[in-house]
């Protein structure tokens, strides 16, 4: 796309730079840990013993979970976008719900159900790399679903219909006309699924699929080898970088947008009752497998367990953190997306760097944040005492700022994907038109972009909201005293082999995530008929 | 809209610094102060002990629960400004590591109190001590195994158990400490031979936790399993009929470790190196060893009290035979932990 140089400079890159610095800081700290530690020969020992197994497991789990997520996510998104059948409106948001189930909770539930003594003992036990891949795919596919759904909704149906007119069968038209246009969104969703999978510890450890992350935690916990754990983390980050690069390549090939931002509400095809039932069954199965069945098992266990915790305040804490992080992350995501749009190298690099934090396993990111805060505290203490003669308060126990910092550094990537894929629909032609009519860059953003990218921003905020609700390692290690979240309580019980007590907080996570999911799904649905020209008249400043 | 979003974000960012937890409220003058507790445990029994302590002394207990490794890492990063007064973890290996990192300080004031704790269940110089103990045991299928077949953990590595043993992953600290104890008893070479034997006997790839190993024995996937004693006690005392059935299908033996006695481990506590509320912390540590605290651990978490002569009400523990503990100081388990883990890596015990 040719963008005139004057347009290029139109958007400031500095917000993205700030985002990049915030996100890269823990990563830099981890890298510093990796190079500064002494070389104990542990890596050589690993290479000759367990590292190949770690890598193999990592590959297997990732391929299964990513493959499953793409098939489920994009297929079902197409189904609810293009066809009309009984219950479609409900499935629209129901399909996003398994994302609210922490993968480790689903893993505990499924393993408990299908082990030899369990009620589903006749089925093969959900375990090993295959089991872990399936569980992760079933709880993470909503990333792909949400982004693809949004892309299909925002897609003008012209291309698909043209293909049909030219005699293509529905499947062919889907694969050759609709899919390529949604490809950036699907790739962004897949990248998120893969990163989550790479960073997962709870599910793979429980199901006995030792991946790189398990090896990393083992090095850290079992050997006390922080430096070696950091080195393994860098391997993970390298893999993530590779995935990012592939995703970019995908996107570059598919920069095709319809010439206007206008959306023609696509008429859905009404399915016959029989086919409608089949479609409903298709939609229902991942929700059952990813959420209802495993959480149902935990609930059954909960019936025989006492409630020993104050879950109300834990829920409050979780929501507070998730809302703040969600809003801030959406802003960072937009900033990064605009930086990408400038087409400058600096902007692109900043946005890429900002997205990298996601691949760092939470425990490692948390270590990085800890190290940074420790260093900062020392400096500030010295300066403060020198200047004012008083003692500066302790940052870590004083509040939740450290947590928010850690969340943003980890989840900025989850926000950048949706924001960028939404912004990519705003064609440069639109910008050009607006600027020709004398609008400033800021005005163009507000009156032309904003109506088109609201959903992307909302989606970004929602994804981060749900992520933070589920987040464990950073929350665990950075939170103040007497401050629990639902995820922390659920995990503490589960790791203690008290599934019953873990059930209720895990269920509450899903319950808390439900209202925003429904609300956002509705916005996306409603927006299908919205026309880009329907810009609100300018409000006074 | 965009503007409003940015404004909301700015407000949120500003309010972050103001969001301190409720515990930080200004205390009244009559207040006996507080302690900050880092703990790797999260049991109702512990909460009951904290409440009883507050009732008795008026000292508030602020709690941070997290896995031990993370607590250690956080204290390291906090350095001299760490707010922790007391650190509690399960497994002596973790206490040893925290001590290596210089996170504890000796508490000479407690010397007399600590005499009530067996010498092998506390740090030689009193940097930390066990307040409850647990033992690694073998659980077996009543109908397929005879208790006389397993008198020592060395037996478990024997040929006769090929494909009949369940045990969880070697990532787990309980297994690490078991092997660390064996290294102390028979030396690293023989310990490695034993670990290789056990790895060859495993019936299925390690998965799940200790409770899952017991369930696998009941379901016939394996005939014996290595677990901690309280996991079975929990199943025996549950309301869940399915779990009761599991507990009834199996039985328990307390094998010795290379003839030295049963492999015991501890839940332990220590005084943090930079404790801001040192006196209150000492009061709390002493409270853990009172009759009240000791009873709670035995009755609610099925652990053994460390103080001799404490009476408690727990049918399951009461039914156990007399167990002779391995006399090794649990501090040694920490010293051998790294060697143990590398042995696991080499013999392919996943």
In this prediction, residue A250 carries a pLDDT of: 67
The residue with greater pLDDT, A207 or A443, is A207
Cβ contacts (< 8 Å) between B24 and chain A: which residues?
Answer: 398, 480
CA–CA separation, B23 and B30 (whole Å): 16
Give per-residue pLDDT as tens, A295-321: 889 888 888 777 667 788 899 999 999
Bridge partners of B38, per DSSP, are B64, B87
Instruction: Tell whether the model's pLDDT for residue A8 goes beyond 70.
Output: no
Q: How many Cβ atoms sit within 10 Å of the Cβ of residue B7?
A: 10
Please state the rounded mean pLDDT for residues B323-340.
93
pLDDT at A525: 57
Place of tokens 């060893």: B289
CA distance A497 to chain B (A): 7
d(CA B170, nearest CA chain A) in Å: 9
Would you state the pLDDT for residue B255? 96
Q: Across residues A246-268, what is the average pLDDT? A: 59
Residue A90, burial from CB neighbour count under 10 angstroms (0-12, 13-18, 19+):
middle
| Whether the predicted pLDDT of A149 surpasses 80 | yes
Pairwise pLDDT comparison (B132 vs A476), residue with the higher score: B132
Contact assignment for B171 to A222 by CB distance below 8 Å: yes
Neighbours of A516 (CB within 10 A): 21
Cα–Cα dist A309/A505, whole Å: 9
Lowest-confidence region among A286-295, A413-422, A518-527, B33-42: A518-527
pLDDT number for residue A492: 82
Asked if A241 reaches chain B (Cβ–Cβ under 8 Å), the answer is no
| Distance of residue A267 Cα from the nearest chain B Cα, in angstroms | 30
CA of A143 to nearest chain B CA: how many angstroms apart?
Answer: 24
CB within 8 Å: B36 and A214: no
Higher pLDDT: A56 or A428? It is A56
Pairwise pLDDT comparison (A95 vs A302), residue with the higher score? A95
Residue B88 has a pLDDT of 94
**For residues B227-236, b (16+ Cβ closer than 10 Å) or e, as one string?**
bbbbbbbbbb
Q: Are A503 and A305 in contact (CB under 8 A)?
A: yes
CA distance A93 to chain B (A): 24
Determine the Cα–Cα distance for residues A360 and A1; give it in Å rounded to an integer.
33
The minimal CB distance from B205 to the residues A128, A492, A500 is found for A128
Per the CB < 8 Å rule, is A49 touching B17? no
pLDDT score at B12: 44
| Cβ distance of B231 and A473 shorter than 8 Å | no
Name the 3-class secondary structure at A210. coil
Comparing B127 with A533, the larger pLDDT belongs to B127
pLDDT at B28: 41
| A136 pLDDT more than 90 | yes
DSSP secondary structure letter of residue B226: E
Question: Please, how many CA atoms are within 13 Å of residue A164, restricted to the half-sphere of its CB?
Answer: 9
**Three-state secondary-structure class, residue B32:** coil
Least confident of A157-171, A430-444, B128-142, B234-248: A157-171
Q: What's residue A532's pLDDT?
A: 32
Q: Of A358 and A403, which is predicted with more confidence?
A: A403
pLDDT number for residue A531: 34
Q: Output the pTM of the full model.
A: 0.81
Residues contacting A120, CB < 8 A, separation 6+: A113, A114
- Give pLDDT, residue B135: 96
Contact A497/B212, CB-based, under 8 Å? yes
* pLDDT classification of A147: cutoffs 50, 70, 90: confident
A-chain residues near B350 (CB < 8 A): 53, 208, 210
Q: In the predicted model, is pLDDT for residue A270 greater than 90?
A: no
Query: What's the pLDDT tens digit per position in B270-296?
Result: 999 999 999 999 999 999 999 988 998
Cβ–Cβ gap A483/B9 under 8 Å: no
Give the mean pLDDT of chain A. Answer: 79
In this prediction, residue B214 carries a pLDDT of 95
Least confident stretch, A483-497, B197-211, B280-294 = A483-497
pLDDT of residue B330: 94
Which of B1, B36, B71 is facing A450, going by the closest CB pair? B1
CB contact under 8 A, B171 and A396: no
Q: How confident is the model at residue B22 (pLDDT cuts 50, 70, 90)?
A: very low
> Residue B16 pLDDT more than 70?
no
Partners of B132 in the beta sheet?
B267, B305
Dihedral (CA of A391, A393, A394, A397) sign:
positive
Per-residue confidence at B205, pLDDT binned at 50, 70, 90?
confident
Stronger pLDDT, B9 or A507, i.e. the higher one = A507
The predicted model gives A313-338 an average pLDDT of 88
User: Residue holding tokens 């909704």?
Assistant: A153
Determine the pLDDT at residue A73.
94
Question: For residue range B90-126, what is the model confidence (pLDDT) as tens digits?
Answer: 889 889 989 998 999 999 999 899 999 999 999 999 9
Tokens of A102: 């922490």
More confident residue, A490 or A262: A490
- Residue B22: exposure state from Cβ atoms within 10 A (0-12, 13-18, ≥19): exposed
In the structure, what pLDDT confidence band is assigned to residue A4 with cuts at 50, 70 and 90? Answer: very low
Nearest to B69 among A221, A320, A378 (CB): A221
Could you read off the pLDDT of A13-37 as tens digits, one per residue?
777 777 777 777 888 888 888 888 7
Identify which of A146-160, A353-367, A485-499, B198-212 has the greatest average pLDDT: B198-212
Q: Which two three-digit tokens encode residue A497?
A: 């082999």
């Amino acid at each position: 796309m040719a963008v005139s140089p004057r347009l290029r400079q139109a958007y400031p890159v500095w917000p993205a730079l700030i985002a990049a610095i915030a996100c890269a800081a823990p990563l830099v700290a981890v890298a510093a840990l990796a190079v500064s530690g002494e070389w104990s020969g542990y890596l050589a020992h690993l290479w000759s013993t367990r590292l190949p197994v770690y890598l193999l497991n990592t590959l297997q789990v990732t391929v299964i979970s990513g493959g499953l997520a793409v098939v489920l996510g994009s297929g079902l998104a197409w189904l609810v976008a293009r066809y009309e059948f009984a219950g479609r409106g409900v499935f629209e948001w129901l399909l996003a719900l398994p994302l609210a189930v922490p993968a480790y909770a689903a893993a505990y539930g499924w393993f408990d159900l299908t082990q030899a003594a369990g009620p589903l003992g006749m089925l093969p036990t959900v375990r090993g790399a295959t089991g872990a891949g399936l569980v992760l795919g079933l709880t993470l596919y909503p990333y792909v679903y949400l982004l693809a759904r949004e892309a299909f909704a925002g897609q003008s149906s012209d291309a698909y219909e043209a293909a049909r007119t030219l005699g293509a069968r529905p499947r062919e038209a889907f694969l050759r006309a609709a899919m390529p246009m949604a490809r950036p969104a699907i790739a962004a969703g897949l990248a998120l699924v893969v990163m989550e999978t790479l960073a997962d510890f709870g599910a793979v450890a429980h199901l006995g699929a030792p991946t790189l992350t398990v090896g990393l935690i083992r090095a850290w916990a079992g050997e006390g080898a922080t430096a070696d754990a950091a080195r393994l983390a860098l391997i993970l980050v390298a893999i993530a970088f590779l995935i990012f690069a592939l995703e970019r390549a995908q996107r570059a090939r598919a920069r095709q947008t319809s010439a206007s931002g206008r959306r023609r509400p696509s008429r859905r095809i009404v399915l016959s009752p029989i086919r409608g039932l089949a479609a409903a069954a298709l939609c229902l199965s991942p929700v059952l497998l990813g959420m209802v069945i495993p959480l149902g098992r935990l609930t059954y266990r909960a019936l025989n367990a006492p409630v020993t915790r104050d879950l109300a305040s834990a829920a409050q804490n979780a929501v507070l953190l998730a809302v703040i992080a969600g809003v801030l992350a959406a802003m960072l995501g937009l900033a990064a997306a605009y930086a990408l749009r400038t087409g400058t190298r600096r902007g692109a690099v900043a946005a890429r760097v900002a997205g990298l934090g996601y691949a760092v396993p939470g425990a490692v990111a948390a270590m990085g944040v800890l190290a940074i805060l420790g260093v900062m505290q020392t400096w500030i203490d010295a300066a403060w005492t020198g200047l004012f003669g008083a003692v500066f308060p302790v940052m870590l126990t004083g509040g939740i700022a450290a947590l928010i910092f850690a969340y943003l550094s980890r989840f900025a990537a989850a926000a950048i994907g949706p924001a960028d894929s939404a912004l990519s629909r705003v064609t440069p032609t639109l910008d050009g038109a607006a600027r020709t009519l004398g609008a400033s860059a800021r005005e163009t953003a507000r009156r032309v972009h904003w109506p088109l990218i609201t959903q992307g921003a909302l989606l970004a905020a929602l994804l981060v909201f749900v992520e933070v609700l589920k987040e464990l390692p950073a929350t665990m290690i950075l939170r103040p005293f007497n401050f629990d979240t639902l995820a922390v309580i659920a995990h503490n019980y589960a790791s203690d082999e008290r599934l019953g007590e873990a059930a209720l907080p895990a269920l509450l996570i899903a319950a808390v995530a439900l209202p925003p999911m429904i609300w956002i799904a509705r916005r996306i649905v409603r927006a299908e008929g919205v026309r880009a020209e329907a810009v609100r008249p300018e409000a006074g400043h | 809209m965009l503007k409003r979003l940015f404004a909301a974000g700015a407000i949120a960012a500003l309010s972050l610094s103001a969001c301190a937890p409720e515990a930080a409220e200004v205390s009244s003058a009559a207040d006996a102060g507080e302690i900050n507790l880092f703990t790797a445990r999260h049991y109702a029994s512990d909460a009951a002990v904290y409440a009883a302590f507050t009732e008795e002394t008026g000292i508030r207990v602020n709690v941070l629960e997290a896995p031990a490794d993370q607590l250690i890492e956080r204290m390291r990063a906090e350095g001299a400004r760490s707010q922790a007064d007391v650190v509690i973890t399960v497994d002596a290996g973790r206490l040893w590591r925290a001590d290596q990192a210089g996170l504890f300080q000796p508490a000479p004031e407690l010397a007399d109190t600590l005499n009530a704790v067996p010498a092998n269940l506390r740090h030689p110089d009193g940097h930390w001590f066990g307040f409850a103990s647990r033992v690694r045991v073998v659980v077996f299928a009543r109908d397929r195994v005879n208790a006389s077949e397993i008198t020592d953990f060395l037996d478990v590595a024997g040929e006769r158990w090929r494909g009949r043993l369940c045990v969880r992953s070697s990532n787990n600290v309980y297994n690490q400490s078991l092997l660390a104890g064996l290294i102390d008893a028979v030396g690293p070479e023989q310990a490695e031979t034993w670990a290789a034997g056990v790895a060859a006997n495993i019936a299925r790839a390690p998965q799940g936790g200790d409770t899952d190993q017991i369930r696998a024995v009941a379901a016939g996937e394996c005939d014996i399993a290595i677990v901690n004693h309280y996991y079975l006690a929990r199943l025996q005392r549950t309301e869940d009929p399915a779990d009761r059935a599991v507990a009834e299908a199996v039985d328990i033996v307390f094998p010795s470790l290379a003839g030295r006695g049963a492999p015991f481990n501890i839940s332990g506590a220590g005084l943090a190196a930079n404790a801001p509320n040192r006196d209150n912390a000492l009061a709390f540590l002493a409270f853990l060893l009172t009759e009240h605290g000791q009873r709670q651990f035995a009755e609610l978490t099925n652990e053994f009290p460390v103080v001799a002569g404490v009476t408690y009400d727990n049918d399951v523990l009461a039914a156990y035979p007399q167990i002779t503990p391995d006399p090794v100081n649990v501090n040694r388990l920490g010293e051998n932990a790294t060697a143990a883990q590398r042995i696991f890596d080499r013999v392919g015990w996943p």
